[in-house]
Amino acid sequence: MSRTEKFIIDTNTILSSLFVKDSIPFKALEKARSEGLLLFSDDTFLEFELVLFRKKFDRYFSKEERLQIVERFYNEAVFANVSSTNALCRDPKDDKFLNLAIDANASCIITGDKDLLVLHPFENIPILLPSDFLERF
């Protein structure tokens, strides 16, 4: 696999990977990092930041730890411009991931979100559970 593979990992999967090292989401994130590029749009990255800084995560990560996490993801991310604004998903908050996938020609969307998984494949782009991603890629 070449570094030209472009992977989109939804916010909840990224957050899950942060809580349990060696979990399936963690392994999927590490594989995506090592074998391809982590793809974000401004909107998907902003969602990641906002969710990570929710009060409910205060007991798991200090503010400094969260800033370091955001910085690490920001520095390794590939940002794509998204011009599509299609309403594609039964959960409108997930449209940003689908529009990013279309506009950036993503290789795969990695998610546990049923609203996204039900669309697999989407425009010839696989939408996979982290466990399926590990098997397929």
Q: List the domains of the chain with CATH numbers.
A: 6-136 (3.40.50.1010)
Cα distances (angstroms) measured from residue 87 to each of 2, 37, 95, 120, 129: 31, 26, 6, 16, 22
> Does residue 108 surpass a pLDDT of 60?
yes
Dist CA 69 CA 129 (whole Å): 23
| pLDDT digit string, tens, across residues 49-96 | 999 999 999 999 999 999 999 999 999 999 999 998 888 889 889 999
> Does residue 2 surpass a pLDDT of 90?
no
| Entry field: residues in the chain | 137
> Does residue 3 surpass a pLDDT of 70?
no
Is residue 114 within 8 A of residue 120, CB to CB? The reply is no
Burial classification of residue 131, based on how many CB atoms lie within 10 Å of its CB (0-12 exposed, 13-18 middle, 19 or more buried): middle
- State pTM to two decimals: 0.94
